[in-house]
Structure 1
Amino acid sequence: MQEIVLKALSMKHEQKTDKSIYNILVGKKTHQTYFDATIEHLKLYYGCLPNLKYDDFENIVEQSSNNQVQPIIGNYFYSQAVETVGTLLLLIQMVSQKKHEQTTYQPLFNNKSIQHEAKKIYIAIKDHREDDFINEVYQLFKDSNDEFNHVYLHYLLAGYRETPYTLEQIALLEDISLHSLGCHLLEEYQFVQVSISDEMKYPVLSQIKHLPLLHQQTVTTYQLLQKTQDIAQLADIKRVKTHTIHDHIVEMYIKGYLTNKNLFISNEKYNQFIKVFEQMPNQSLKYYYENTNDIDYFELKLMYAIYAMEGLNVT
């Protein structure tokens, strides 16, 4: 746990507080925390330690040294990594059972999102791309082993006449605490999610796509957005202030439900922001507001988030 906390802290912007990192780690459901996780490239750490006590967090901060740690960075939330690994494990189970002509078995996961995604990809590969899938799985585990030297994810595999180990069994076999095992698996999940985003290397596995859930109030705004993109009108319909709609829209971009920045931002304004940002990166919104022309806080926040995500998508 300590190493995970330190990795998250290593990405903290000077303008941000330690408490903001704690909020990311426990997965605080606020638009500010979604935004912080995005601009600090900590989406993969959002909600990864939901039971972390603040006192324990503070102790780690106080005892931390300047040792260099390397976080796993990607434009995905930790919840996406969990569902991606779940889909991968279920697909392995489905392919294994098919190869032994078994049609009746208990699926590893009852999660509807995981089952839907696994079924979709299984249908696409079952006739002609099964071998491609198997080769990519072998490659992924090789890459994981190269990254960590010792991996635990293979214990969770299931298939024909094979059942996964429980966490308790793995801990006993490997002589490791449940807590340490959980932290190791957390990083393996992160690594899998980032690795399979390489469409050239993993043309089959990269098809696994999960979106994080939207905040409950954002869902209705997203539905209304299909009818009108007029922010004032949306605010009137929902009987909320326009800044609430702004927060919902930023969340939709952060979580991948909207991708076209030109719905709300002109290229001229975006290029202006990038120029100022590259001169003085990782500053407060107030700084960028004072050093740009005719750009409001909503546009700045949206541009900041989009720019942060674009940087990850091209690396």
Structure 2
Amino acid sequence: MNTFLFVILYCIHRFHGERSISAIYHLLKGKKSSQTIQDAKLYTLYPLFGIFPTVAREDLQEAVNYLLYHNFINQSEERYSVTEKGVNILNEWIKANPLPHSLNGWEYRDKWMIFWKRYTLITQTISNLIRGNGNFIPIQYDFEIQLFVKQFLKMWSKEELAQKLKVETELILKNQPQLQANLFVIQLSGYSTAGNTIQQAARKWNIDSIWASILFQACIHSILHTLKAEPSKFPVLSSICNDLISPMTQLTKTTQTTMQLIQKNYTIEEIAVIRNLKESTIEDHIVEITMNFPEFSIAPFINEEQVREIQEKMYHLRTKQLKKIKEAINKDDISYFQIRLVLSRMGDNVELTRTSKR
């Protein structure tokens, strides 16, 4: 079995038969819907959020069919669960190929690629300029990336930038596992040299190309995490991504706007009117804020007694499914929105008895 099959099996196992295959598809593509965002956090799948942005439904269905045929999963209507055989082989795979701790698709889903494109074009450009070659084919054609790099290069002399970039890159890569650092370096292009593709790099080290992609993304995620924590230690690298790693960038742009209004003490109803959006959309934004900002108070939207009742039903039923919890509570004064708020605040710390096995 290849890495992609194991990733699908892992997702099915984490969802515990409570989500459809479509949920996995949206998760891996990084769909920015309230349901997918909440699923990623609630089922501890945020590391995999958006790691396969180009995955096709056909590829996913083919993987599911394979897992069914080989009795690694069972199907019940549109839901799937992992068999004992599937659990055993999954555990063996996780033991041999643990997901890197630094992998965090949710936090760095779009940002890592922007950083990589900026970085690679900067290194290629500097490598050529210090050798007097101003006539080269850029490896990045994205206009926004090229514009950023042009502005960035004005901040330094090419000799100073080349030296600082070399020192900081070597230093930050020392914190990476050797294979991940190798995957980073081998893809760089410079004067009269072209970087490898991730597929070429995978063949060089005799690993699955999907696994190589995961390791590479984890490497960039780790670098961004370090730059966020220690910007003064890496002034050049940090200046490449300062706009990508501020706390507010964790939220979708529309949710950022809603949060600004909440901070001005507007109610859900008032924000909906101001923004000409449905109240349910504003509720989605509040759930997203709750997941990303632990200090955000949910007290204006739910009282402590309601929180306790939702938690009790969730643990009693051993489920994270909103519908089952809502039906068990059977009270008009507790809404789906409030249940989602409680689950979001508990986040991936929720581990029910039935879901404790991994």
* Shorter-chain TM-score tier: 0.5 to 0.7
Task: Give the Cα separation in 2 of the matches to 1:175 and 1:23.
Answer: 31
Q: Is the 8 A contact 1:26 1:47 kept in 2?
A: yes
Q: Which runs of 5+ in 2 are unaligned?
A: 73-85, 351-358
Q: Is the 8 A contact 1:261 1:306 kept in 2?
A: no
Residue in structure 2 matched with residue 261 of structure 1 by the alignment: 296
Residue in structure 1 matched with residue 18 of structure 2 by the alignment: 16
Pairs aligned (count): 297
* Identity within the alignment, %: 18
Does residue 174 (structure 1) correspond to residue 237 (structure 2)? The answer is: no
The superposition leaves residues 132-184 of structure 1 with CA deviations (integer Å, 9 ceiling, x where unpaired) of: 532332244454443x479434332112222233567557x63969xx32441
Comparing 39-48 and 120-129, the one that deviates more = 120-129
Letter of the structure 2 residue corresponding to residue 88 of structure 1: Y
Q: CA deviation at 1:94?
A: 3.8
Q: CA deviation at 1:24?
A: 1.2
- Which residue, 61, 66, 71 being the options, matches 2:99? 71
Does residue 108 (structure 1) correspond to residue 139 (structure 2)? The answer is: yes
Inter-CA distance 168–45: structure 2 relative to 1 (3 Å threshold): closer
- Which residue, 31, 35, 42 being the options, matches 2:34? 31
The superposition leaves residues 67-94 of structure 1 with CA deviations (integer Å, 9 ceiling, x where unpaired) of: 4313234352433333333233233224
Task: Give the Cα separation in 1 of the matches to 2:299 and 2:155.
Answer: 37
Inter-CA distance 200–30: structure 2 relative to 1 (3 Å threshold): closer
Q: Which has the larger radius of gyration?
A: 2
Residue in structure 2 matched with residue 250 of structure 1 by the alignment: 287
Inter-CA distance 260–35: structure 2 relative to 1 (3 Å threshold): same
SS at 2:110's partner residue? Answer: helix
Task: Give the Cα separation in 1 of the matches to 2:47 and 2:150.
Answer: 25
Inter-CA distance 244–196: structure 2 relative to 1 (3 Å threshold): closer
Q: CA deviation at 1:192?
A: 1.9
| TM-score, with structure 1 as normaliser | 0.67
Q: Is the 8 A contact 1:153 1:185 kept in 2?
A: no
Does residue 134 (structure 1) correspond to residue 166 (structure 2)? The answer is: yes
Q: CA deviation at 1:200?
A: 3.6
| TM-score, with structure 2 as normaliser | 0.61
Task: Give the Cα separation in 2 of the matches to 1:6 and 1:181.
Answer: 18
Letter of the structure 2 residue corresponding to residue 136 of structure 1: E
Task: Give the Cα separation in 2 of the matches to 1:32 and 1:212.
Answer: 16
Does residue 56 (structure 1) correspond to residue 63 (structure 2)? The answer is: yes
Task: Give the Cα separation in 2 of the matches to 1:238 and 1:251.
Answer: 17
Alignment of 1:148-167 (within 5 A): 148=179, 151-166=182-197
Q: Is the 8 A contact 1:81 1:189 kept in 2?
A: yes
Q: CA deviation at 1:4?
A: 3.0
Letter of the structure 1 residue corresponding to residue 296 of structure 2: K
Inter-CA distance 104–284: structure 2 relative to 1 (3 Å threshold): same
